[in-house]
Amino acid sequence: TNRTILRQQLSSWKMVCRVAEDAAHAMDLLMAAARAGKPYEVALIDLNMPDVDGDQLACAIRVQPALRDTRLVLLSSSGNGHRDAREDGAFDGSLVKPVRQSQLYEEIQMVMAGDPAGAVENGSTPAPVVPGAAPGEGAGPPVLVVEDTLVNQVVVSRMLQKSGFLAQVVENGHKALDALSSRSYAAILMDCQMPELDGYETTREVRRREREQNGRRIPIIAMTANAMKGERERCLAAGMDDYMTKPLRKQTVRDTLTRWVCCPPADLTGSGTTPPPNGATATGRDGPELLQEAVIAEVMDLEGDVLSELVSLYFAEAAGHMAELGDAIARADTLAVGRAAHKLKGASGTLGAAYVSHLASELETAAKVGDLTGADDLVDRLGRGLEHTHEALRSRRAEPDIDGKASALP
């Protein structure tokens, strides 16, 4: 097979090589190596894989801070049409199969000589890679989306595009500040909890710069999965202008932006379908609903094959989050547990995976109060919940067969 040939070629150069049969296994290997302090320097990624293709896997890798220095090389068949993968922003190089040994050696040398595509060069912000964007849509007022979870990035971007806005995505506060220094935006949608620089501190810095430069006050709208009392006041105190709770609804996003953006664009899809009342296709083993139908209906209303795409991205990311949780719990690192649980909670809520989101929220709360005594049990329940969610989503008529993914999750 191609994997065997590549492994033999790489081993002949005394390179340490591991082989993964799918995207979930690849994420497990990458995250395990990063946790051990020996991250992989290069990943060769096939474009045509079942369930999660090479482009989607690259996007999932690029949003993991621990993997930002790994160089990614895209492998595609000649029948797919060759493309320069470096233009996509996620890959550092590309090869067409069948790969000659000399070409492989030269490509690895080339990507190792440059900076990885996941790194920020010269303080600039690289163009975001957001799957699901439809060409020609969203040519209206530009909106900066500051969000660190890939599933949420895709959904918010599609909602904005369908509402006639132009979406640009960055994954943390530092990159948001870089983006604001290079162009103006009609508004900012700001996630509150992010690594490196969270939404509250980012907003305070934006307001400080506006005062210092006597600049225009740009509307900043919070996006948060925290619906607790006092959260809205905290956002407003940081300098934000409005507040939306996740999972977001397209009409809510549009209505909120309309309050703050001068001359908002026309909705490209009208009011859309009316989501059904909150409900579930099944019930979690411990009580809470497994899937939230209203949220899934909202995602499906974005048109295209976006639900299938999001499910693939979700489970690829979930494998990484579960690996992070296991490692952080073993180290009794409550901060890392809370971060990973928060990401899993947010992505699950956006997709309508209500049961997994509920369990991740419990784990996040436990980490916040510094009590990890029941964390191992919660992670076990999360693993089972992901399997049940996977089965339920696979059974949906709109969802392609994705056998084997659940068993690959930790």
**How far apart are alpha carbons 290 and 282 in whole angstroms?**
5
Say whether pLDDT at 263 is over 70. no
Give the global pTM: 0.67
Give the residue with greater pLDDT, 52 vs 367: 367
**How far apart are alpha carbons 357 and 245 in whole angstroms?**
14
Q: Domain spans of the chain? A: 2-113, 142-260, 293-408
pLDDT of residue 261: 87
pLDDT in tens, 342-366: 999 999 999 999 999 999 999 999 9
Q: Of 186-190, 192-196, 365-369, where does mean pLDDT reach its minimum?
A: 192-196
pLDDT of residue 69: 86
**How far apart are alpha carbons 269 and 351 in whole angstroms?**
21
Q: Using 50, 70 and 90 to split pLDDT, how confident is the model at 278?
A: very low
What number is the average pLDDT over the span 291-304? 83
pLDDT of residue 2: 77
Q: Which amino acid is at 275?
A: P
Domains 2-113 and 293-408 share a fold: no
Cβ(26)–Cβ(72) under 8 Å? no
What number is the average pLDDT over the span 112-137? 50
pLDDT of residue 357: 94
Domain 2-113 sits in CATH 3.40.50.2300: yes
Q: Using 50, 70 and 90 to split pLDDT, how confident is the model at 126?
A: very low
Say whether pLDDT at 89 is over 70. no
Fold for 293-408, please state it.
Answer: Four Helix Bundle (Hemerythrin (Met), subunit A) (1.20.120)
For residue 275, cis peptide bond before it (omega within 30 degrees of 0): no
pLDDT in tens, 4-40: 888 888 888 888 888 988 887 888 888 888 878 888 9
What is 142-260's CATH number, 3.40.190.10, 3.40.50.2300, 3.30.70.20, 3.90.550.10?
A: 3.40.50.2300
Nearest to 389 by CA among 307, 280, 247, 290: 290
